[in-house]
Amino acid sequence: MKNRFLWILCALLSLLVLTGGCNRKPASTADVPRSLSHQYKIAVAPFTQPRDISQLIMGQLPQPQALAARDVLIAQDRQLRDVLYTTTKRSYDFLPRTRPLPDLKRFHTSERPQALPLWVEYARKTSADILFIPQVLTWRDRQGSAAGVTEPAHVRLEFFLLNIKEGNIIGHSV
């Protein structure tokens, strides 16, 4: 399952990077990027898990939501770093988990997702052009024994590419 997850993650990231490069039609051929590998500086945020609808960038929380332990998020950070380093020919600025993440616990009076402005504010403190935001929406380990499964594993991840200058999402994958 781990190998399959890494391949799916790699494929999703590749699609996100490609769709970000095809987002707008250039005004002239001078605007056409010659090499995507060095045009944009990409920062990668640590994995987070929204626990309330106001903490979402977009979409909705699965019901019931299974919460991931902190060590799972840290392990996912390491796996994502390994996948990006071994499968792409880009350099990334991996933001440390020790760097304060956006305060997603702020209370919002709206029932709509409100986290995008907080991520934009967070991203503008970096020197990157694009922020890659990985999120775990639900994480449930397989329950059972070698004889059988009593409850299957269930993982839902979402990935966002945030254009820092424009303050908008240019890529999203579930």
Domain segments of the chain: what residues?
2-22+37-173
pLDDT at 19: 56
Give the pLDDT of residue 25. 57
How confident is the model at residue 72, as a pLDDT? Answer: 93
- Spatial distance between the Cα atoms of 41 and 130, rounded to a whole number of angstroms: 6
Supply the pTM of this predicted model.
0.72
> What pLDDT is recorded for position 112?
60
pLDDT attached to residue 37: 43
List for the chain the helix, strand, coil content (%; round to 5): 35, 25, 45
Alpha helix locations (H) across the chain? Answer: 2-21, 36-39, 70-87, 115-123
Question: How confident is the prediction along the chain (174 residues), in pLDDT tens digits per residue?
Answer: 566 655 665 555 565 555 555 555 555 544 544 433 467 899 999 999 998 887 888 888 888 889 999 999 999 999 999 999 898 878 899 999 887 777 666 555 555 667 888 899 999 999 999 999 999 999 988 888 888 888 888 889 999 999 999 999 988 998
Residue with tokens 């209370």: 107
CATH T-level topology, domain 2-22+37-173: Rossmann fold (3.40.50)
| DSSP 8-class letter at 95 | -
Residue 87: predicted pLDDT? 87
Q: Please provide residue 88's backbone torsions phi and psi, each rounded to the nearest 5 degrees.
A: -120, 160
pLDDT value of position 27:
56
Distance CA 66, CA 54 (A): 17
Neighbours of 45 (CB within 10 A): 23
